Structure 1
Amino acid sequence: MDLKWLLVRRIALVALACLLVGSAVAVYTTGRAAMRENDELADLVSRQLELQLSRIDRATDIPDRFPDWDLVASLSLQPGQCIAFHRTDGTIGRSSCTGIDTSSISTPGWFLMLYEALTNGSQTSTRTIHRHGAAQGSVVVDYSAAATAARAWATVAPLIGFSAALVAVLCLVIYVVIDRALSPTREVLAGLNRLASGDLTFRLPSFRLAELNRISQVFNELSGALSKATAERTDLARRLVDTQEQERRHIARELHDEIAQKLSALSAHAACLRTNAQREAPLLAHEARDLEAMAASLMVSVRRTLTYLRPQEIDDLGLVQSLRDLVAEHNREADGRTTYSIETRGDVEHLRAETSAHVYRIIQEALTNASKHANARNVKVSLSQIAETGPETIRLSITDDGAGLDADILPAPHPGAGMIGMRERVVALSGTLAAGPLPSGGFELQVEFPTQDAR
């Protein structure tokens, strides 16, 4: 939930709790006031009736006039208030009540039910009348629940209206104030999103609030540390992969200059030996042919190893021609089951030797994965130079129309060695790698890296 709405909701809940407490206090106060009025009236009437009994004892009053209700009739009862004299046998001797105007009562039914539940339906005061120590009856005063509920509602209703208006204004003011106070958090969230997307150059400004300003400082320090660590990691990856390519080039050169030449010489000697053996020692001709075939087989293995370590075409013919030869080789191996194609746009030829090797290896690994796992009819390689709004970049994409999803291609918690190798090379190029299924089916692997460090 949004922080502003969360605070507003909690404030509303607190205000509602305060309103309920205030309403309960108002109901309790109204009930206590009605009970006090009943007590006062009951005390007054009981004293008057006991005084009448004392006059009867002094023969200054007539017993048949007891209780003298004219005195009670002269008292001013509140609306809904009743007073009655109960004889000792439980019957009602006299009683008086003041009616209430039901049309003027606007108490809601739910409030009346709640009030009756809280007050047990009425407030009653009882006083016993004594004569010579013996009870002569009792005076009972009570209030109608509807009358006291109406009085309580008259107190609570304005409180509810005022509280609702106050809470609405308070929530509005708090929402506006908090919204303005927390407006910098939108910048913080935007910064976190940019940091998560890989933009390590973004920095947050200073804020007026101390807590947010501290967040800004920590964010900038973290972003700087990540930027430095990423730069060091990229540089290390570049050094490692470049060193690997240099070592491969060195091994390939050694194989070509030493082993391959010696194997060529060995093959020539074996051919001469076979020719001489056919004239002078026919029994040795078979062994000479085996030696010649073995030398030829070793030459094929060395050439395959040289091609894997460092395709000679990259140095001799350039990157584009090497990639075309690689695609042509996959087409020969596919024998029509899959069609491989390549498209280049822009100046992608004049890259550093190490960069060209990285691009070649990435495409080589991707085509190998596609041939093994995709079961596709078409595989397309696209290598282009992009100069849009930002700095010039090289964009590489390999798409196919096959099954696509495979644990050795998709980024996964435990990716295959091929994917790890491609990621290392992309990091060395200071680029980004994305791989995933296409909406129309198939699979795409896309790599982008800046050209400023690639030339």
Structure 2
Amino acid sequence: MKRVDLKRILLMRITLFALVLLFCAIAVTLKQTRDRLHADIPRTGGTMKQLIETEIARATPPFVRDLHGIELTGLEGIGRLVHFCAAVTDIYSRPVVQRCFGDAEAPRWLPASLMRSVVGEEARYIGPVGKYPGIKVGELTVTPNFASVAQSVWSDIRNLLIITAGVLLLNVLVYLPVRRVLRPTDDILRGLGRMEAGDLSVRLPSFELIELQRISDVFNHLAERLENTMGEQRELARRLLEVREEERRRLARELHDELGQCLTSIQAEAAYARELAHDQLPALTPSAEAISRITAHMMEVLQLILRELRPVGLEAFGLAASLEQLIDSRNRSSHGRCLHTLTIDGDVGGLADNLNVSLYRIVQESLTNAQKHADARHIAVTLRCDGNELRLYVDDDGRSEPGSTFDGGLGVLGMRERVQALGGRLTLTLRDEGGLRVEVVVPADAGRPSPAANVQEMHA
């Protein structure tokens, strides 16, 4: 569907209509002039012939065919009404006298030659000039005075141009208030653009036009409802993340306190049994050693589970130290197959606990996906803080298929939930040099409960 600009279409159509109307009026004027001359010149030719014959009879004696001295003064009266040129030749076709009536200079924009081509050569009168008693003494040729006709036609065209200019001026006078009235549509488009970018606090101002004011009222009402709904959803997601992290902390604490102590006791008992079997019952030594190995392996697995459930030192040492420990751990576990790097720009201390945990989990999940699914050889983690905004980039050089949407994994879904709960945005894009970029942008004060949520929690 083609998009149109109402103001531009209105201006162009009225202008085009005025120009077409002007050209049609000029064409009608030229045609009327042509038809008039084709009718006037032959009709008045006989009258001109009689006037010339009367002048010849007065100026020359009978039986004299010499026409010298004829000045065509008898045509001056009719020449004021019909602008024409009269030429008289003698019986030998030699020119005797030629005179144009209604003489005027043709305008520069409409030369006489153009009028001649428009009117045509058919607009003329040719007739014999006689003398009593029926003697032909010459020939009369009457043609339009094209210079005078051009001046008359140009006067009409000039009036048409003035009328057209008035229509165009009216067009401008109509366009200006229409543009002023429709100018708020730019504000509406900017408001829609800001809402599309995620700014739900945008509101439209009041408008002079009633229809636009109705749009503004509806837009502001919907924006307010959407902002409240999104705020409630973010608050609910934040609370769910808090509950989830609290459950993880509790589970990690229970595993560490209960299962960890049990494994430690089993390992101690296995060591005692190994020593006792070595001294008194050597046949049980392999079993005691196997129990000790299995217990040590279970301790390692438990430590991995505890680190997954709750990052070690995140609350005590902060996000930067925990990310450095995570990167070092991944580099050790990859045994040189994948190089992990970390860059932190700005102060990331003092962030909310929910924000620290979410960023840590996002980095953790991104590293796992890049190494497990894309077989990346180099992963770069960059965290920047400019005071108002946090930006996290995780770039890898792993395999990636063009056109991927990255919407199917549970890990990506979990990252999106965390980012949405923090009021930020998550973007996954293919890099030009190969691999994937995970970009997270969140407010620096994200993760802290809103005042309204605090009030609700106090009442609860």
The verdict on a shared fold, with TM-score over 0.5 as the criterion, is yes
Distance 1:168 1:246, change over 3 A: same
| Among 6, 10, 14, the residue aligned to 2:13 | 10
Indicate the residue corresponding to 1:389 in structure 2: none
Distance in 2, matches of 1:264 and 1:332, equals 25
Indicate the residue corresponding to 1:448 in structure 2: 442
Alignment of structure 1 residues 165-314 onto 2, 5 Å: 165-167=165-167, 169-314=169-314
Deviations 1:378-397 (A, max 9, x none): 7554557x3xxxxxx5x434
Shift in Å, 1:277: 2.8
Shift in Å, 1:331: 6.0
| Range with bigger deviation, 373-382 or 321-330 | 373-382
Distance in 2, matches of 1:5 and 1:219, equals 26
The one-letter amino acid of 2:406's match is: H
The one-letter amino acid of 1:12's match is: T
Shift in Å, 1:358: 1.6
| Among 415, 418, 423, the residue aligned to 1:422 | 415
TM-score by length of 2: 0.68
Distance 1:123 1:346, change over 3 A: same
Contact 2:124-2:141 at 8 Å conserved across structures:
yes
Contact 2:318-2:349 at 8 Å conserved across structures:
no
Shift in Å, 1:338: 5.6
Shift in Å, 1:454: 1.5
Distance in 2, matches of 1:452 and 1:420, equals 19
Distance in 2, matches of 1:306 and 1:218, equals 51
The one-letter amino acid of 1:287's match is: S
Shift in Å, 1:304: 0.6
Distance in 2, matches of 1:227 and 1:341, equals 35
| Range with bigger deviation, 258-267 or 218-227 | 258-267
TM-score by length of 1: 0.69
Indicate the residue corresponding to 1:55 in structure 2: none
**What is the aligned-residue RMSD (CA, Å)?**
5.1
Indicate the residue corresponding to 2:26 in structure 1: 23
| Among 390, 400, 407, the residue aligned to 1:396 | 390
Contact 1:429-1:450 at 8 Å conserved across structures:
no
Distance 1:381 1:45, change over 3 A: closer
Distance in 1, matches of 2:266 and 2:357, equals 32
Contact 1:187-1:204 at 8 Å conserved across structures:
yes
The one-letter amino acid of 2:233's match is: R
Shift in Å, 1:303: 0.9
The one-letter amino acid of 1:238's match is: R
Alignment of structure 1 residues 11-410 onto 2, 5 Å: 11-38=14-41, 40-41=43-44, 74-75=74-75, 77=79, 78-81=82-85, 98-99=99-100, 104-108=105-109, 113=114, 119-120=119-120, 122-123=122-123, 143=144, 148-160=149-161, 162-163=162-163, 165-167=165-167, 169-315=169-315, 319=319, 321-330=321-330, 339-342=341-344, 345=347, 348=350, 351-352=352-353, 354-365=354-365, 380-382=382-384, 386=387, 393=388, 395-398=389-392
Deviations 1:369-409 (A, max 9, x none): 7888886697554557x3xxxxxx5x434468x7789969x
Distance 1:429 1:452, change over 3 A: closer
List gaps (5 residues or longer) in structure 1: 49-61, 86-90, 128-138, 387-392
Indicate the residue corresponding to 1:134 in structure 2: none
Distance in 1, matches of 2:305 and 2:422, equals 25
Shift in Å, 1:13: 1.7
Indicate the residue corresponding to 2:457 in structure 1: none
Distance in 2, matches of 1:111 and 1:105, equals 6
Contact 1:122-1:145 at 8 Å conserved across structures:
no
Distance 1:83 1:448, change over 3 A: same
The one-letter amino acid of 2:424's match is: G
Contact 1:122-1:143 at 8 Å conserved across structures:
no
The one-letter amino acid of 1:16's match is: L
Contact 1:355-1:429 at 8 Å conserved across structures:
yes
List gaps (5 residues or longer) in structure 2: 52-61, 128-139, 450-460
Indicate the residue corresponding to 2:424 in structure 1: 431
Contact 1:26-1:152 at 8 Å conserved across structures:
yes
